[in-house]
């Protein structure tokens, strides 16, 4: 073993190592080998047997007596060997291919930027595809698309305002979703208490949005002095309070038994149409809402309000010093963000028809936050993609892995993604720049938060 | 600037849609005109054990039917997972409905999912025979698809009350629910029935997975009640039983079908001793008729049948029976109508439904934990008759 | 509620609160050196429970142990829990946090990584050990020992109290009196200057995680002894302990102890007065109230400044 090491370690790194007085076993290569072995062990457990509580050692025994660990160990060692000893030729090949593939990309980008008509054409095509492509799918996917994807996309758009633009860490966003759903139930007469008058679902939307706005203000007002993690825990507490209240105030919310019989959407103005159990009409309705909101929010992003949010996010003190009314704009971010979940709540309550407090667990709040940051916070296309992709992923994983393990893969994906692409899949340009500056050590990534561990390591 | 941004939105949507199409394509049914029996229940998430109990029962029935040679067609099995959550149930139900081969569904296992999935099943004309959705009002909502092959919580609550009334001299009973829709629903019924027979009732709750049951146990012990009903599942009943014993409560303790599982014995240990458990289910491990079922089950799945395994087995066999009569090409609606009128004598009881889809005969059975085993005591109707 | 009942719930609250305090220390230590919310600490706690369970199952305790055996079981279980918790925390830092620190990623990214790691870890535990809850093997007969103002104290409760107090005193000693402790405080105050003064930041961070993990793991074992072990058991106590750390002043070790105690007591009194359904409402209402008047918690922030 040792002779092989001296042979392979001779060369540049080894000589510098000698100069520093570092022994051969301190070469980072060997700690990377240990890491690869550890990864092989973890992968064995991840892909191995399902355990049982009857015998706590069952899974471990099955996993490590079969061929599985050796397969993973072999693969990991292969990766390690390639990375340590053949990385240079591979890098060359990759560089060559990147150089080749660059011109067409640049050409497309040039066309895209240059011609306005092409942009409009592509845009129209995209909306058309988004509207009609699902028709070719199974109805199962329609249901997933409406009940889960579209709803969470709406939530993510709202949370993006709070966290992506105004830079406030909100860990209790789904509380507003719950408030929206319960107001829908209240105004359509599905709760144990009777509303003063019943409303059509379309009319409930503005009412629910207003309720969420007010709830956003109520949450925002006492927490304005708080920053970063303090805000996170208070919003988390707000969620828990809303959830527990929904569960316990049985006379008003129906408690743990939930609410059923929320009416479907219907229009009765000259012509009448009722949304029924079919998911597709609901999909188009929600797509309409999403397109509308995205349009409005994009206008907002580049308006005075949006710029004020950016200023608060990047440096609150400086923003206040230059005359931005931070209190007002922070409250506005909370309220506007909360409003989309009002829409989501109404749509959800009428589509599914039954819900109970368990639909709004704390975990959902945490997940929405993960969707936003995964997609690239601050960037609307990124957020749309992040939410859509991460909601869709566990559903499709169902067919490929044991359904009980789906969230394990989701968690692993989040970790890997954040390590290799911390800015998210599709970051906004401004956010990317902020991150780049943070990496170079010139400024902090967020005004709410200094980079962890200081600027040295 | 704004326009380019808008343009970018479309791409992830389309990419997502394309991916969906790609994946949607390969899990559609094979269209071979087979007959499939579906099962909807929690196969992931927190309540997976109950879901697995039932799944194994369904699978065993199908396997035996195929092996018996009585059928001139093969029955396949399709499981859809709702995680026990109402919002996942619509998509799960749709998955079963989309597969044209699925003629009837065993499930949904839980009441919440039943409530959100039943409109879809009703629209598709597909019968769903649930061996475990016990919330009383489900059958009051006009879901034509839903046949409930289990006595509802109203009967169970009444059974509990009857037992306290006739067989004990309890004056004051404390009811603890677990803040789930199941626990609260059952606790409400039990409270109403107990009050109706003149027993004083106090209510409190200990939410599922609470970090410490000591305080609630202390409350029960301090209340000077001489009876206790816990409405919830075994995972919480286990530690609660322990804490109740530590707190020094010595009244009559009773729990429900969600607790009647060997897991309860394991979790509570010695503290489980003396607990009464009511259940609309017979015990497959004790009843002579069902011993063979228990043995087969154990051989196949390496564990003893759990709560609702035998009921799922029965319900599946009932569907198979009707399929045998109607043939493999039967329409869903026709099969649903046949099932609603059918009478089937299973291992656990005789199944026949009234016009709302409830069981005609609703029997509740009583069990008691004695020397580390859940011992069958008999039906409450018989026990309280004397 | 009578006075004796009040004492009952107060005593229960102190017991639960001391557990929360030990977990909260794990959050606050990591926050002190990294200004990072280690969301995955709850899974470290959960692994502690499984560590104890695995060790004791492997040893398979006799049904009615003698006094000496009982002590041995508890000691082994606690050590195993602490060890697995420490390993989990060490691995977490190596895999999930160090690469990010190298890149100077902003803290939100750390938060999402922590959430991802948390999902991964608890589902992995569910896969390995089964998703049903498991009781800790019987280590002793849980008898009532004595009464304080009419409130009974049993062996488990005494065990939790004593272990928590010992751990807190030990930790206070480590942070304030040892070389490692001064390293931790130095990094917490100013990492740049600390590194110029020759503090190996990577080492300090790694050891801070391990200390937090040891405490969290031991707390997980105690929690499992008191109740049961299951794969999602970290979630709720984790959230509460996190709230406790913030309540006391995040980054402040003594603050975490105070915050944990206070939340434990508030929770149990809430349960006593209104029932378990309202448990967290009481805790979070206190949190919001305190933060409204003292935005940096009861004792204020930072390991370096106050401890």
Domain spans in chain A, listed from the N-terminal domain onward: 12-89, 140-440
Distance in angstroms between the alpha carbons of the first and the last residue of chain C: 38
Q: At what angle do helices C41-59 and C3-34 cross, to 10 degrees?
A: 110
If one compares A185 and A433, the residue with the highest pLDDT of the two is A185
Return the bridge partners of B345, or none.
B350
Q: Facing residues of A274 across strands? A: A266
- At residue A49, φ and ψ (nearest 5 deg) are -70, 160
Q: In whole angstroms, what is the distance from residue C205 CA to residue C29 CA?
A: 9
Cα(B90)–Cα(B106) distance, integer angstroms: 15
Helices (H), A302-325: 304-314, 316-321
Q: Other CB atoms closer than 10 Å to residue B286's CB: what's the count?
A: 14
Q: Does the pLDDT of residue B7 top 60, yes or no?
A: no
Is it true that domain B35-151+287-352 has CATH number 3.40.50.2300? yes
pLDDT given at position B284: 65
Question: Average pLDDT over chain B, rounded to whole?
Answer: 84
pLDDT at A446 exceeding the cut of 60? no
Determine phi and psi for A257, rounding to 5 degrees.
Answer: -70, -15
Contact assessment for residue A365 and residue A414, using Cβ atoms and an 8 Å cutoff: no
Q: Do the chains contact at B215 and C9, CB–CB below 8 Å?
A: yes
Question: Given pLDDT bands bounded at 50, 70 and 90, which one contains residue B228?
Answer: very high
Residue A290: how many CA atoms within 13 Å on its side-chain side? 31
Selected residues 115-144 of chain C with any CB under 8 Å from a CB in chain A: 115-121, 123-124, 126-134
- Whether the pLDDT of residue B299 is over 50: the answer is yes
Q: Test A457 with C201 for CB contact under 8 angstroms.
A: yes
Nearest-neighbour CA in chain C from A237: distance (Å): 5
- B 257-296 → C contacts, CB under 8 A: 263, 266-269
Q: For the ranges A291-300, A444-453, C164-173, which has the lowest average pLDDT?
A: A444-453
Note whether A164 and A387 are within 8 A (CB): no
Q: Is B141 exposed, middle or buried (0-12, 13-18, 19+ CB in 10 A)?
A: middle
Q: Smallest Cβ distance to B184: which of A145, A148, A256? A: A256
The answer to whether the CB atoms of A453 and C34 lie below 8 A apart is: yes
φ, ψ of residue A310 to 5 degrees: the values are -55, -45
pLDDT higher at A59 or A7: A59
Structure tokens at A58: 């069952």
Cβ atoms of residues B369 and B377 within 8 Å: no
C195 in contact with A, Cβ within 8 Å: yes
Contact B266 C135 (CB under 8 A): yes
User: Which residue of chain A has the CA closest to C189?
Assistant: A454
CB contact under 8 A, A355 and B8: no
Element (H, E) at B158: helix B153-167
State whether residue A34 sits within 8 Å of chain C by CB. Answer: no
Touching subunits of B (3+ CB pairs, under 8 Å) are A, C
Q: What is the mean pLDDT of residues B252-270?
A: 89
The span from the CA of A40 to the CA of A76, in Å, is 6
**What is the rounded distance in angstroms from the CA atom of residue A435 to the CA atom of residue A379?**
14
Q: What angle do CA B139, A279, A282 make, to 5 degrees?
A: 115
Higher pLDDT, A23 or C85: C85
Q: Is B206 on the interface with C (CB under 8 A)?
A: yes
B154-279+365-385 is classed CATH 3.40.50.300:
no
CB B13 within 8 A of CB B25: no
Residue B36, classed as helix, strand or coil, is strand
Q: Do A57 and C102 touch (CB under 8 A)?
A: no
CA–CA distance, B309 with B307 (Å, rounded to integer): 6
| Banded pLDDT at A19 (limits 50, 70, 90) | low
- Please give the residue that has the higher pLDDT: either C53 or B69: C53
d(CA A235, CA A172): 5
Query: What is the pLDDT confidence band of residue A451, given thresholds at 50, 70 and 90?
Result: very low
Q: Of B43, B152, B129, which is closest to residue B312 (Cα–Cα)?
A: B129
Does B154-279+365-385 match B35-151+287-352 at the fold level? yes
pLDDT at res. A298: 86
Residue C256 tokens read as 């975490």
Residue A449, chain C, CB below 8 Å: the answer is yes
pLDDT in tens, A369-406: 999 999 988 888 899 999 999 999 988 888 888 888 88
Residue B331 vs residues A43, A331, B35, B119, B334: alpha-carbon distances, Å: 47, 58, 11, 19, 5
What is the pTM assigned to this prediction?
Answer: 0.88
Nearest CA in chain B to C231: B46
Among candidates B205, B238, B246 on the partner chain, residue whose Cβ is nearest the Cβ of C135: B238
- Among all chains, which residue has been given the structure tokens 């488990």? C156
Using CA atoms, how far apart are residues A275 and B96, in angstroms rounded to an integer?
22
Instruction: Go through chain B and tell me how many residues it has.
Output: 386
Confidence class for position A136, pLDDT limits 50, 70, 90 = confident
Residue C264 phi/psi, 5-degree rounding, is -60, -45
CB C255 within 8 A of CB C249: yes
Phi, psi torsion values for C189, nearest 5 degrees: -75, -50
- Which of B27-31, B52-56, C125-129, C223-227 is predicted least confidently? B27-31
CA gap A184, A195 in Å, rounded: 11
Largest CA distance in chain B: 84
| DSSP reduced 3-state for B274 | coil
The pLDDT > 70 percentage for chain A reads: 89
Distance CA A77, CA A83 (A): 10
**From the list A127, A355, A399, which residue is nearest B10 (CB)?**
A127
Q: In chain B, where do the E strands start and end?
A: 35-41, 75-81, 102-106, 127-130, 146-148, 172-177, 200-205, 227-231, 252-255, 276-279, 343-345, 350-352, 365-370, 373-379
Comparing A303-312, B223-232, B246-255, B295-304, the range with the smallest average pLDDT is B295-304
Express each pLDDT in C285-303 by its tens digit: 999 888 888 888 888 865 4
Residue B168: partners with Cβ closer than 8 Å, 6 or more residues away: B227, B252
Lowest mean pLDDT among A103-112, A281-290, B24-33: B24-33
Name the residue among A60, A241, A411 with its Cβ closest to that of C117.
A411
Write phi, then psi, for C133 (nearest 5 degrees).
-70, 150
Do C221 and C77 touch, CB atoms closer than 8 A?
Answer: yes
Six-digit token string for B226: 């001489």
Sign, CA dihedral B346-B348-B352-B356, equals negative
- A98 has pLDDT over 70: no
Rounded Cα distance between A364 and B201, Å, is 36
Using the Cβ of C239 and the Cβ atoms of chain A, whether some distance falls under 8 Å is answered with: yes
Of A59, A417, A439, the CB nearest to C104: A439
Weakest-pLDDT range from A87-101, A117-131, B128-142: A87-101
d(CA C9, CA C266): 9
Using the Cβ of A401 and the Cβ atoms of chain C, whether some distance falls under 8 Å is answered with no
Q: For residue A358, what pLDDT is reported?
A: 86
Average of per-residue pLDDT across B130-155: 87
Task: Give the pLDDT confidence of A257-269 residue by residue, as tens digits.
Answer: 888 888 888 887 7
Interatomic CA distance for residues B170 and B190, integer angstroms = 14
Phi-psi region of B27 (alpha: psi -120 to 50; beta: other; left: phi over 0): alpha
Which CATH class, in words, describes the domain spanning C3-141+148-306?
mainly alpha
Residue B202, strand partner residues: B174
Q: Where are the domains positioned within chain B?
A: 35-151+287-352, 154-279+365-385
A-C CB pairs within 8 A amount to 232
Which residues in chain B have Cβ-Cβ distances shorter than 8 Å to C141? none
Q: Is the pLDDT confidence value at A455 over 60? A: no
Chain A residues lying within 8 Å of B88, measured CB to CB: 148
Tell me the three state secondary structure of residue B280: coil
Q: What's the rounded mean pLDDT across residues A359-376?
A: 91
pLDDT digits (tens, 9 = 90+) for B337-384: 999 999 988 888 888 998 888 888 888 889 999 998 888 888 888 888
For chain A positions 244-283, those within 8 Å of chain C (CB to CB) are 244-245, 247-248
Task: Give the pLDDT score at C61.
Answer: 78
pLDDT at B133 over 90: no
B216: nearest CB among C133, C138, C271: C271
Say which DSSP state A194 is in: P
Tokens of C25: 């220390």
Residues with pLDDT less than 50, chain C: 303-307
């Amino acid at each position: 073993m040792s002779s092989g090491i001296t042979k392979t370690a001779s060369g540049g790194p080894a000589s510098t190592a000698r100069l520093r007085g570092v022994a051969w076993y301190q070469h980072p290569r060997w700690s990377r080998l240990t890491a690869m072995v550890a990864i092989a062990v973890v992968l064995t457990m991840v892909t191995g047997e399902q355990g049982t509580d009857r015998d706590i050692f069952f899974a471990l025994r099955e996993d490590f007596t079969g061929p599985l660990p050796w397969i993973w160990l072999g693969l990991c060692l292969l990766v390690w060997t390639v990375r340590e000893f053949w990385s240079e030729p591979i890098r060359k090949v990759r560089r060559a291919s990147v150089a080749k593939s660059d011109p067409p990309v640049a050409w497309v980008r040039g066309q895209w930027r240059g011609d306005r008509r092409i942009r409009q054409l592509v845009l129209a095509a995209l909306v058309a595809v988004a509207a009609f492509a699902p028709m070719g799918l199974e109805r199962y996917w329609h249901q997933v698309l409406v009940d889960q994807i579209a709803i969470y996309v709406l939530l993510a758009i709202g949370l993006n305002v709070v966290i992506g633009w105004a830079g406030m860490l909100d860990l209790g966003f789904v509380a507003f979703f719950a408030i929206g759903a319960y107001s829908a139930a209240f105004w359509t007469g599905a709760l144990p208490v009777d509303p003063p008058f019943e409303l059509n679902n379309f009319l409930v939307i503005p009412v629910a949005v207003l309720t969420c706005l007010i709830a956003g203000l109520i949450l925002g007002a006492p927490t304005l002095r708080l920053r970063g993690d303090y805000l996170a825990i208070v919003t988390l507490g707000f969620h828990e309070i809303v959830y527990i209240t929904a569960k316990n105030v049985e006379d008003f919310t129906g408690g743990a038994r939930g609410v059923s019989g929320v009416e479907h959407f219907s229009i009765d103005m000259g012509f009448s149409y009722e949304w029924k159990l079919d998911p597709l009409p609901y999909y188009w309705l929600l797509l309409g809402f999403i397109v509308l909101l995205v349009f409005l929010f994009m206008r907002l992003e580049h308006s005075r309000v949006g710029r004020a949010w950016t200023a608060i996010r990047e440096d609150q003190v400086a923003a206040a010093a230059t005359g931005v009314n931070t209190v007002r704009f922070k409250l506005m971010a909370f309220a506007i963000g909360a409003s989309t979940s009002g829409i989501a709540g109404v749509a959800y309550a009428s589509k599914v028809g039954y819900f109970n407090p368990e639909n709004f667990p704390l975990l959902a709040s945490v997940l929405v936050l993960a969707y936003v940051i995964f997609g690239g916070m601050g960037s609307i296309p990124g957020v749309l993609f992040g939410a859509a992709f991460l909601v869709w992923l566990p559903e499709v994983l169902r067919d490929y892995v044991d359904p009980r393990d789906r969230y394990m893969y989701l968690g692993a994906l989040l970790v890997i993604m954040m390590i290799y692409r911390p800015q998210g899949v599709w970051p906004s340009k401004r956010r990317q720049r902020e991150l780049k500056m943070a990496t170079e050590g010139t400024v902090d990534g967020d005004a709410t938060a200094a980079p962890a561990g200081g600027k040295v390591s | 600037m704004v326009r380019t941004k808008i343009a970018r939105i479309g791409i992830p949507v389309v990419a997502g849609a394309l991916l969906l199409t790609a994946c949607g394509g390969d899990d559609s049914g094979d269209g071979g005109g087979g007959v499939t029996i579906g099962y909807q229940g929690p196969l992931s998430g927190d309540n997976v054990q109950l879901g697995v109990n039932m799944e194994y029962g369904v699978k065993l029935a199908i396997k035996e039917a195929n092996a018996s040679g009585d059928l001139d067609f093969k029955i396949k099995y399709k499981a859809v997972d709702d995680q026990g959550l109402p919002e996942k149930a619509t998509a799960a139900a749709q998955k079963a409905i989309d597969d044209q081969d699925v003629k009837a569904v065993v499930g949904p296992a839980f009441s919440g999912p039943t409530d959100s999935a039943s409109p879809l099943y009703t629209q598709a004309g597909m019968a769903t025979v649930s061996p475990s959705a016990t919330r009383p009002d489900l059958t009051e909502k006009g879901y034509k698809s839903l046949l409930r092959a289990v006595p509802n919580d109203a009967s169970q609550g009444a059974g509990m009350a009857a037992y306290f009334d006739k067989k004990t001299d309890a004056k004051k009973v404390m009811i603890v629910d677990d803040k789930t829709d199941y626990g609260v629903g059952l606790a409400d019924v039990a409270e109403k029935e107990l009050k109706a027979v003149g027993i004083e009732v106090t209510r409190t709750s200990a939410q599922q997975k609470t970090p410490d049951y000591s305080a609630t146990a202390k409350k029960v012990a301090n209340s000077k009640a001489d009876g206790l009903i816990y409405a919830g599942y075994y995972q919480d009943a286990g530690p609660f039983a322990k804490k109740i014993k530590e707190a020094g409560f010595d009244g009559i303790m009773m729990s429900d079908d969600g607790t009647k599982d060997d897991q309860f014995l394991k979790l509570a240990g010695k503290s489980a001793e003396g607990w009464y458990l009511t259940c609309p289910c017979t015990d497959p491990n004790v009843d002579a008729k069902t011993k063979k079922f228990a043995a087969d089950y154990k051989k196949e799945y390496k564990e003893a049948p759990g709560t609702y395994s035998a009921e799922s087995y029965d319900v599946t066999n009932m569907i198979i029976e009707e399929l045998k009569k109607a043939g493999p090409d039967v329409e869903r609606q026709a099969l649903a109508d046949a099932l609603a009128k059918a009478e089937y004598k299973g291992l656990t009881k005789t199944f026949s439904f009234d016009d709302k889809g409830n069981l005609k005969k609703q029997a509740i059975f009583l069990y008691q934990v004695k020397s580390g085993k859940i011992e069958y005591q008999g039906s409450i109707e018989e026990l309280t008759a004397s | 509620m009578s006075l004796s009942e009040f004492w009952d719930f107060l005593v229960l609250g102190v017991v639960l609160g001391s557990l929360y305090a030990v977990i909260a220390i794990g959050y606050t230590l990591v926050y002190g050196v990294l200004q990072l919310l280690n969301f995955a600490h709850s899974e470290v706690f959960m692994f502690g429970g499984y560590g104890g369970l695995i060790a004791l199952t492997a040893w398979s305790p006799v049904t009615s142990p003698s006094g000496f055996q009982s002590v041995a079981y508890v000691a082994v279980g606690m050590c195993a829990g602490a060890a697995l918790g420490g390993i989990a925390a060490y691995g977490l830092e190596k895999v999930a946090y160090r690469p990010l620190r190298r890149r100077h990623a902003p803290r939100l990214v750390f938060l999402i990584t922590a959430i991802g790691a948390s999902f991964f870890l608890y589902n992995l535990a569910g896969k390995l050990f089964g998703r049903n809850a498991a009781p800790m093997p019987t280590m002793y007969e849980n008898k009532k020992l004595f009464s304080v103002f009419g409130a009974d104290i049993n062996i488990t409760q005494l065990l939790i109290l004593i272990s928590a107090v010992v751990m807190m005193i030990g930790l206070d000693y480590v942070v304030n009196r040892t070389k490692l402790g001064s390293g931790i405080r130095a990094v917490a105050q100013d990492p740049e200057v600390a590194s110029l003064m020759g503090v190996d930041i990577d080492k300090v961070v790694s050891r801070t995680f391990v200390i937090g993990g040891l405490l969290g793991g031991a707390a997980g074992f105690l929690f499992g002894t008191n109740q049961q072990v299951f794969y999602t058991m970290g979630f709720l106590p984790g959230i509460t302990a996190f709230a406790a750390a913030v309540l006391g002043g995040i980054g402040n070790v003594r603050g975490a102890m105070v915050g944990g105690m206070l939340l434990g007591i508030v929770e149990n009194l809430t349960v006593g007065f209104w029932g378990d359904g309202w448990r967290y409402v009481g805790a979070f209402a206190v949190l919001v109230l305190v933060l409204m008047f003292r935005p940096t918690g009861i004792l204020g922030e930072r390991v370096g400044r106050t401890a």
